[in-house]
């Protein structure tokens, strides 16, 4: 009889833990397995974004400068 109860309790606890992990959005060992790879991908993407922001800021400055010149010519 104890074996049946142990099995039932183990299944119950497994379900509760699964629900707890999902509800609280907790990380599991499987989630952490490729953590470093995912982190490196994010770091590379952030470098690309920083580079884009820099080039976009330069381009925006050039466009604003051209706009000022056009406004001066229009006067």
pLDDT in tens, 21-74: 888 888 888 888 888 898 999 999 999 999 999 999 999 999 999 999 999 988
Read out DSSP for 28-51? -HHHHHTHHHHHHHHHHHHHHHHH
pLDDT for 1 beyond 60: no
> Do residues 75 and 69 make contact, with C-beta atoms less than 8 angstroms apart?
no
Report pTM: 0.47
pLDDT of residue 43: 94
């Amino acid at each position: 009889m104890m074996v049946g109860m142990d099995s039932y309790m183990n299944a119950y606890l497994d379900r509760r833990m699964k629900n707890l992990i999902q509800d609280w959005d907790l990380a599991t060992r499987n989630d952490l397995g490729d953590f470093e790879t995912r982190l490196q991908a994010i770091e590379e993407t952030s470098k690309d974004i920083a580079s884009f922001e820099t080039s976009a800021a330069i381009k925006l400055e050039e466009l604003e400068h051209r706009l000022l010149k056009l406004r001066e010519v229009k006067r």
